Amino acid sequence: MRPHVQKVEKVVGIGFQPGLDSSKIVSASQAGDIQFLDIRNLTIDAHRGSLTALAVHRHAPILASGSAKQLIKVFSLD
């Protein structure tokens, strides 16, 4: 995980898990990365290319991202 290295032009999704650690807010950029918006400021190299969707499970510590290449990836927040 790493901080953003490029300017983010478009955020395509943002989410959090109600009732859990509020520091785990995540965003997905059109550039293809997912950023955890918290004091650690971590990101996941999620996709090569554009992201088109992001979903965070309301109860389980997971998120899913979708890309313009029609790929879906699921990540653990633990």
Enter the pTM of the model: 0.51
Q: How far apart are CA 36 and CA 42, in angstroms?
A: 5
Residue with structure tokens 């990540």?
A: 75
| Sign (positive or negative) of CA dihedral 63, 68, 72, 78 | negative
Sheet holding 11-15, edge to edge: 11-15, 25-29, 34-37, 43-44
Per residue in 10-37, pLDDT tens? 778 888 777 767 667 778 888 888 877 6
Q: How far apart are CA 39 and CA 21, in angstroms?
A: 12
Which of the four pLDDT bands, split at 50, 70 and 90, describes residue 40? low
Q: Mean per-residue pLDDT for 51-73? A: 88
Which of the four pLDDT bands, split at 50, 70 and 90, describes residue 1? very low
